[in-house]
Amino acid sequence: MALIVQKFGGTSVGSIERIEQVAEKVKKHREAGDDLVVVLSAMSGETNRLIDLARQITDQPVPRELDVIVSTGEQVTIALLTMALIKRGVPAVSYTGNQVRILTDSSHNKARILQIDDQKIRADLKEGRVVVVAGFQGVDEHGSITTLGRGGSDTTGVALAAALKADECQIYTDVDGVYTTDPRVVPQARRLEKITFEEMLEMASLGSKVLQIRSVEFAGKYNVPLRVLHSFKEGPGTLITIDEEESMEQPIISGIAFNRDEAKLTIRGVPDTPGVAFKILGPISASNIEVDMIVQNVAHDNTTDFTFTVHRNEYEKAQNVLENTAREIGAREVIGDTKIAKVSIVGVGMRSHAGVASRMFEALAKESINIQMISTSEIKVSVVIEEKYLELAVRALHTAFELDAPARQGE
Ligand code: ADP
Ligand code: ASP
Ligand code: MG
């Protein structure tokens, strides 16, 4: 008999019919003999609706109170599923994060899990109950409700699996696994049988929102076997694993991630003296703005241009800080662009293959897509391009790296 944590996402519990379907599925697994802990998201759209309600009161809701409201979405679904299970004769009980005691730090809206008390859950499992836990939420040492950031139910699932030493954490969603890229954007995307934690972490960090980044970090750290599956279709899904198989067929690139969340700022005509990067980015980080990609050009005429990207939500704040800096250090001007996108190719196969970046640049050149910025690490290459070319770029790269699914017969 195995202990399995099953997490169902927002669309999978998006209506009463779906919740009944999830209950049927859980019942079947339970009857097969496994111990089950089920983690749920709020109904799809609900968390956005709750945030919107708060925003109708104030532009800047107090983070603590925002957590009080957004955590209610998950409280609704856990009660409904538990009722649906009991109706089917499956003993079950629901718990909020506070009731389990998922202890987090006090960073409201982006809290980190510190500790999980597994006693209650273990006692219920022993009594033969299915335990249904609200995802996305916890409680801090002061007893305040906290939430784990958007998509945080994935992290609740993985953290519970780690705490309970579960045999597997299954993430049920509206796609049947992790794909080579977002299947909504590239219809030729292929489901991956396996992907390494390291690759999945890069994919998630670079914009593939199929799993929350922290859930992948957690799974890697505690070695939780993690699988992404379709809620209502049978299939093996995608296993996230540690092993990097040295197989001949191992593709160089496992996937392509992209995001439209960033904006670019350039400060031009900066007097080129030692410490210039610090003078520019010091005030940005002092304002709590995270910087992603950075490019500094070679100086000529003793001045240089310096470009970096920030999250789009922080663009205006960053622009104000940078304009102050420009005045202080005597730079010529500040320019910016919010209509950019970042496209990244990810794969552990890159470690052992040369020329991956140039193959990427060639594919983009063939489509006449101009690259504005580049950054590389051991297993990824990212480029910033004009946003309007994003889909074209992702599709071109998908084909260039031979990731396209084989055409079905007759196509
Ligand atoms: P849930 O509500 O179940 O948590 P999400 O919307 O958070 O579901 O995640 C599933 C979605 O992730 C899919 O519908 C898909 O559009 C998107 N996605 C982005 N990149 C990928 C990828 N590489 N593979 C699979 N799905 C992806
Ligand atoms: N309901 C939360 C969100 O929409 C958490 C989750 O679904 O994982 O972000
Ligand atoms: Mg999600």
Give residue 407's pLDDT.
67
Rg, C-alpha atoms of the chain:
23
CB atoms within 10 A of CB 267: 24
Q: For ligand 1, atom 3, which residue shows the shortest CA distance?
A: 9
Give residue 301's pLDDT.
84
Residue of 371, 352, 351 whose CA lies nearest to 362: 371
Closest-approaching ligand to the CA atom of 170 = 1
What are the strands of the beta sheet with 137-139, ordered from one edge?
113-116, 102-104, 137-139, 145-147
pTM above 0.75, yes or no: yes
Give residue 249's pLDDT.
56
The helix (run of H) or strand (run of E) holding residue 121 is helix 119-126
Distance of alpha carbon 58 from alpha carbon 52, whole angstroms: 10
φ, ψ (nearest 5 deg) of residue 149: 95, 155
Q: How far is the CA of 263 from the centre of ligand 3 (A)?
A: 24
Q: What is the pLDDT of residues 389-398, one digit of tens each?
A: 999 999 999 9
Give residue 405's pLDDT.
79
Give residue 248's pLDDT.
47
152 by Cβ neighbours in 10 Å (0-12 / 13-18 / 19+) ranks as buried
Distance of alpha carbon 249 from alpha carbon 143, whole angstroms: 52
Residues of the chain with pLDDT below 50 are: 248, 410-411
Give residue 19's pLDDT.
98
To test ligand 1's pocket by mutation, which of 174, 205, 212 has the most ligand atoms within 8 angstroms of CB? Answer: 174
Q: For ligand 2, atom 6, which residue shows the shortest CA distance?
A: 151
Give residue 373's pLDDT.
94
In 51-120, where do the E strands start and end?
A: 92-95, 102-104, 113-116
Give residue 410's pLDDT.
46
Distance of alpha carbon 331 from alpha carbon 323, whole angstroms: 9
Q: For ligand 1, atom 6, which residue shows the shortest CA distance?
A: 210
Q: How many residues comprise the chain? A: 411
CA 126 vs CA 35, 92, 129: distances in Å: 9, 12, 7
Q: How far is the CA of 408 from the centre of ligand 2 (A)?
A: 35
Closest atom of ligand 2 relative to the 74 alpha carbon: 1
